Structure 1
Amino acid sequence: MLDKFSDELREKRLQSGITLEQMANKTRIDQKFLEAIDEGNFAFLPELYVKAFIKQYAKEVGLDETETLKRYQSAKEGKLFQPEQDILQPNTELENNPVEQSPKISVPSPKTQPLKSYNDPSVEKRQAESDNVGKDKILIASAIIGILVIIIAVYLFFIRDTKEIIVAERPFEEVIEQNQQRYIEEIPDAEDDTTILSSDSLYLKFISSEPSWIFVVIDDIKTEEFTLAPNIEHVVSAGNSFKATVGNSGGVKVMLNNNPVEFTGRSGSVRHFSIDRDGFRYLNTPPKLDL
């Protein structure tokens, strides 16, 4: 299904007369990622970035972005995508064969005397007051519900300590901007180096040139997980050792105590390594916290 989906994208791009190089220059997406989409390879980055790239691809070739993402999700699940307008077909059979209505028989109604109308001003006043009270209750209930929703949202996103990562569907540009605000850190000066070394003898710096996801086990007692936007640095400190997984290993450089580490990788591939006082080595399996 994914191969068929990528074939449809590539055919639409060729019909539009757009080359991968032109699309890469316009969207600022690396050409190797666009080539992976053309080849039906959608495992080159985490799902959030893949969907963002597919959305940009569809926009450039003139496809509906929302429908294209739905087609991708259906193809990923091995299902055949069916647009909503194909599902909701009008019932033409009923339109062509209307039900014959039986002739109406008019029955004369008995003549009755018209009822007299009595308007009690006090009753109308009480009804108006009751309506106003009902509206006030609705407004108060709506305000209370809104406040509760805000409190729950603040608790879930800013207060509750959880190891789960909640990934919302947002535009790729917003993800990059948020990561830049969250992970920009100044390079420590001489005094800062002294402060770090006084509590932890090792500190590991990650420098990104491409979007990258990183997971670090520190001294086998705690973990840290973060995402770096391009041209962002992030530092973690430890007393004895680090073990790390780098999601986009070709887009990250590593330094230990301001000394370069001979870490190499490929864009879109995952690599694992450990580093301590004895040196640096690659790992064959992802590191995890030993409980």
Structure 2
Amino acid sequence: MMRKLAEELKENRLKKEITLQQLFVKTRISIKYLEAIENGNFDVLPEVYLKAFIKSYASAVGMDEEAVIRKFDAAKSGHAYQEKSEEEVHHAVKEERPLPPKRSKKEYQSIDTSSPISEDDSSLQQSGRNNFIVAGIGIVLFVLIVAAYFIFFHHSAKEIVTEKPYEEYIENNKPKTDSVAANANTPAQNPQAADSLTLKVKTRDLTWVKITVDSTHVSEFNLQPNTEKDIKAKKNFKVVIGNSSSVQLLLNNNPLNFTGGKGTVRVLRIDSSGIASSRSVIKSSKDKNE
């Protein structure tokens, strides 16, 4: 199912006569990742980036972004994507069928119950039973789908990294004035209040990073390949790294003993002594390729 979605994306690009180079200009997504998406190689990126890239790709080739994401979620869970549910089709059929005229209480009392039921009344009763059966099947299917979601996905993640829209990732990459740097030229009135720890984050590939400074200030950003960023604190840092295999950490210009994994999210606690604790975060779901 993942392969079918990849072929559909590529087919729409070719119909629009858009080259990969032109698609790169539109989306600013590396050609390496565009080719991986078209080849159905969805494990080259963490899901938080992959869904944002697929959504941007679909928009650039004139596809419905939300429909493509729904197809991706359905393929990932092993279900076939359907444009309309059985309940929606059944509802449309009920709206097209004219309802019989209502009868007053007196009219019902005047009906001779000993006379046989007409064919029209019999067909209406049969149609009502069929509608009830179809509605019941639709409800059962809906309950089964919800139950499957909670069994296989909801309880499988101990900690889930929140996904954000691609536009928000672009906004996070814009240069921001660091409040610590803005106050660098201000004379320190209290020497003990000065930041004593400087954490340098260096990366070789696109990486999402979230840092909590002294358990209060939260900074979240994306680092482009071969870039670095300095964060200051008084006591400690809590660091969450999306693509941990491409990251190097230095505390006060001293390299930290840290090794990540490709596409693995790592959570670290760092103080003046170095890395106090380190753990991997279990992903919310696993990609399935066909």
Q: RMSD in angstroms over aligned alpha carbons?
A: 5.0
In 1: Cα distance, 2:71 partner to 2:247 partner? 33
Aligned position for 2:209? 213
State the Cα deviation string for residues 52-87 of structure 1 (Å, max 9, x = none). Answer: 221211122221222212211221222111113985
Distance across 2 between alignment mates of 1:60 and 1:70 = 17
Give deviations 1:198-237, integer Å, cap 9, x for gaps. Answer: 655422133678451335697xxx5976421357845142
- Output the amino acid matched with 2:231: V
SS of alignment partner, residue 235 of structure 1: strand
For the residue of structure 2 that corresponds to 1:81, the secondary structure is coil
Alignment map for 1:181-200 (pairs within 5 Å): 184-185=178-179, 187=181, 189=184
The separation in 1 between residues aligned to 2:2 and 2:73, in whole angstroms, is 9
Query: Which one of the candidate residues 164, 167, 177 is aligned to 1:173?
Result: 167
The aligned residue for residue 286 of structure 1 is 280
Higher relative contact order (CA 8 A, sep 6+): 2
1:66 match: 66
* Contact 2:265/2:280, CA 8 A, preserved across alignment: no
CA distance in 2, matches of 1:275, 1:166: 20
How does the TM-score come out when normalised to structure 2? 0.51
Q: Equivalent residues in 2 for 1:108-147 (5 A)?
A: none
User: What code does the residue aligned with 1:286 have?
Assistant: S
1:263 shift after superposition: 7.4
Change (3 A) 1:174 1:276: closer
Gaps (5+ residues) in structure 1?
A: 102-163
> Cα offset for 1:13?
2.3
Counterpart in 2 of 1:229?
222
Partner of 1:21: 21
Match of 1:3 in 2: 3
Query: 1:46 and 1:30, CA in 2 relative to 1: closer, same or farther beyond 3 A?
Result: same
Distance 1:166 1:229 in 2: 14
Name the SS for the 2:280 alignment partner.
coil
Tell me the amino acid that sits aligned with residue 3 of structure 1. R
Contact 2:46 2:243 in 1 (8 A): no
**Bigger-Rg structure (1/2):** 1
Per-residue CA distance 1:134-165 (angstroms, 9 max, x = gap): xxxxxxxxxxxxxxxxxxxxxxxxxxxxxx99
Given that 2:211 and 2:237 are in contact with CA atoms closer than 8 Å, whether structure 1 keeps it comes out as no
